[in-house]
Amino acid sequence: MARHDFDPATVMPDERQAAKERLFDPLLPGPWRGHIAGELLGASNTVLAYGNGTPGEGPRLHVHPYDEIFIIVQGHARFFVGDKVIDAEAGDVVLGPKGVPHRFENLGPGRLQTIDVHLSPRWLQADI
């Protein structure tokens, strides 16, 4: 399907160049595989890789001064976002709005793997 959502002639490139950073080594153990600050790439979003193989485990309750988008790559997760509980699985995307405390946990069975996009050039977080 061809898309034409805008006129390419109206978009002027800035001075940034293509860039590459390594997010994680898939062979390393542990849930936090890595993160790339958007400022390293000259971008406005920061990317994190998270995963664990233990049902019930996940990041502690925390909050950000910007939106966070979770992409579930593998497994099943339960998200607690403010007063909402959201079950998600591979292929789903969940929004954690700025200023709303949130956490998630692996529902199992097996590994949960997410890519978390922070809509900020730096990772800013307050654990609750």
Domain residue spans of the chain: 44-117
Average pLDDT over residues 104-122: 96
Whole-structure pTM value: 0.88
CATH number of 44-117: 2.60.120.10
Q: 94, 72 in Cβ contact below 8 A?
A: yes
Grade residue 1 by pLDDT with cuts at 50, 70 and 90.
Answer: confident
Q: Tens of pLDDT along 79-100?
A: 999 999 999 999 999 999 999 9
Indicate if the alpha-carbon torsion angle 64, 69, 75, 77 is positive or negative: positive
Q: In this predicted structure, what is the pLDDT of residue 46?
A: 95
Helix then strand count (H, E) for the chain reads 1, 10
Q: Tens of pLDDT along 47-71?
A: 999 999 999 999 999 999 999 999 9
Identity of residue 55: P
d(Cα 37, Cα 21) in Å, to the nearest integer?
10
Q: Tens of pLDDT along 23-40?
A: 888 777 777 678 899 999
Indicate if the alpha-carbon torsion angle 67, 59, 104, 126 is positive or negative: negative
